[in-house]
Amino acid sequence: MSSCCGPSRDTASTVDAAASPRPRAPEAATAVLRSRRDPARGTVPVPAGAFWMGGDDPDAFLDDGEGPVRRVEVGEFRIDATAVTNARFAAFVKATGHVTTAEQLGWSYVFHLLLHPDARRHVQDAHVPGAEWWLAVDGATWRAPGGPGSDIGDLGNHPVVHVSWHDAVAYAAWSGQRLPTEAEWEKAARGGLERATYPWGDELTPRGRHRCNIWQGRFPDRNTVDDGWLGTAPVKSFAGNGLGVHETSGNVWEWVADWWSVDHHVPESEETRRDPQGPVSGIARVQRGGSYLCHVSYCNRYRVAARTANTPDSTTGHAGFRCVTDV
């Protein structure tokens, strides 16, 4: 996978692996203590049925396993209308005492233009080959998304970031939900449209209006911020799709349940649902949706069929998640 979409913890060339032990598995108490809120609150229904999954248009990254386009059957479920916000994640942490992977390991990746001035001395002497705009920053966590000196004081309604796949699974268990399979995520993201490029159709900016939070300008040094945001945007900043699901293109990459594979004949989604921790540690998990850093010049992955992946313990400033509820 290209590190432009999101570097993994083993990408930075001079990070001391001995100083970055594997995170502890979520404590059992986390999965038992449930949220007091109704798991279906803030979710929208997605009807059962088949849909055309994947992409094979000229913009598709076939090496990412976007194609072939295939007919996939999905049962009924409900999906969060938005990505999980900082406010919702804070409630989870308060209730469970959960310590995120980034907090356990002591550092996370921050995009260079979003680094807090006070965090400059906390940047590790490391670099991501081919994606030097990613900085490994000591003390960067969901509470301090720009590194030490930053906070989420006015970001309560923004998607939580610097969360690993393990953190997302722990939150989902607490809330009485689960992560969506990749097929469920894509069906919900399409909003009822068949084989459209984006959740709203085939034109990126219909009538000149921005419909998602992605990069404008010259990546990675100049963002004109035409869509209103340099980093994450508050959830529901853009209109929902035909099902009422918001920001499934851009804003943040979203963890889903599946192991990464480009062989769509393998029923990996069902295996993942039976054993969410997976058979082997260290294999990449799928992420969907693109982020505020996606740009047509290098990472045209804000199309609804696009996909990437990262190792389950990796954390970045542009990746979050949303959950689903079984019907």
Per-residue pLDDT of the chain (327 residues; tens, 9 = 90+): 455 588 988 776 545 543 444 555 444 334 445 565 677 679 999 999 999 999 998 888 988 999 999 999 999 999 999 999 999 999 999 999 999 999 999 999 999 999 999 999 999 998 899 999 999 999 999 999 999 999 999 999 999 999 999 999 999 999 999 999 999 999 999 999 999 999 999 999 999 999 999 999 999 999 999 999 999 999 999 999 999 999 999 999 999 999 998 887 544 444 444 444 444 444 899 999 999 999 998 889 999 999 999 999 999 999 999 999 999
Cβ–Cβ < 8 Å for 256, 278 = no
The Cα 7–Cα 223 span in angstroms is 21
| pTM across the whole model | 0.90
Fold of 50-326: paralog of FGE (formylglycine-generating enzyme) (3.90.1580)
Strand order in the sheet with 77-80: 43-46, 77-80, 324-326
Q: Closest Cα to residue 44, out of 195, 241, 287?
A: 241
Within a 10 A sphere around the Cβ of 208, how many other Cβ atoms? Answer: 5
Q: Residue 272 is encoded by which pair of tokens?
A: 């993942």
Q: Residue 325 is encoded by which pair of tokens?
A: 């509820």
Residue 87 CA: distances (Å) to CA of 92, 102, 270 = 9, 18, 31
Report pLDDT for 15: 53
Domain ranges for the chain, please list them: 50-326
